[in-house]
Chain A
Amino acid sequence: GQNIDQPTEMTATEGAIVQINCTYQTSGFNGLFWYQQHAGEAPTFLSYNVLDGLEEKGRFSSFLSRSKGYSYLLLKELQMKDSASYLCAVRDHQTGANNLFFGTGTRLTVIP
């Protein structure tokens, strides 16, 4: 099965940097995704890592270490609109259809 862990809640200050960690255990790893979800809305795709290393996309970066089963999402120059839940998801090719399994999400609150 899949076991995906991330912190439940985090708080950070506007303009600062925050790192949201995710650890996972899966038998057929085939990529890790980060999604953003504002309250009452659908998740939207942020980033994808399948090889080790850092992927940068504007203010957001995501890192993956497959040997450690570990990823993080880095948000720089935080803005109030970044207050949302951030979902870590792992793709597992052994379960068919390359299923996407989600952690419970990290609710980030950005304060002035």
Chain B
Amino acid sequence: DVKVTQSSRYLVKRTGEKVFLECVQDMDHENMFWYRQDPGLGLRLIYFSYDVKMKEKGDIPEGYSVSREKKERFSLILESASTNQTSMYLCASSEEVSEAFFGQGTRLTVV
């Protein structure tokens, strides 16, 4: 079974903190994605990566950065967390034309 694992299920952080969300996949997939999911807005793409050390902005990259040093790991970084970044964050991976497999999600609350 494909497995996409996110490091935390729930996180509470303070405004201004630097936050790292980690994602690891075990299927040697080329593509990895970070989405956030908010009520009424659906899943919105923050950043994606199609190879090691490659990264591209999605629809809402502001306030975020990413790192992909190894093929299996894709990290999302909130440089200075703000309350409007309170959300469910979902990591996914895929081959070029296959379906995306999702991690269990990280519910981040910024206070």
Q: Which residues of A contact B (CB under 8 A)?
A: 30-31, 33, 41-45, 48, 87, 89, 91, 96-105
Q: Could you tell me if A33 and B99 are in contact, using CB atoms closer than 8 angstroms?
A: yes
B61 within 8 A of A: no
Query: Known: A97-B50, A102-B42. Is A42-B100 also a contact (CB below 8 A)?
Result: no
A48→B42 CA distance, assembly (Å): 19
Choose from B31, B90, B103, B104 the contact partner of A97 (Cβ within 8 Å).
Answer: B31
Choose from A45, A89, A104 the contact partner of B40 (Cβ within 8 Å).
Answer: A104
Number of interface residues of B (CB under 8 A): 27
A100→B104 CA distance, assembly (Å): 18
Q: Which residues of B contact A (CB under 8 A)?
A: 30-31, 33, 35, 40-45, 48-50, 56, 58, 90, 92, 94, 96-97, 99-105
Query: Known: A42-B90, A96-B50. Is A102-B43 also a contact (CB below 8 A)?
Result: yes
A101 cross-chain contacts in B, Cβ below 8 A: 45
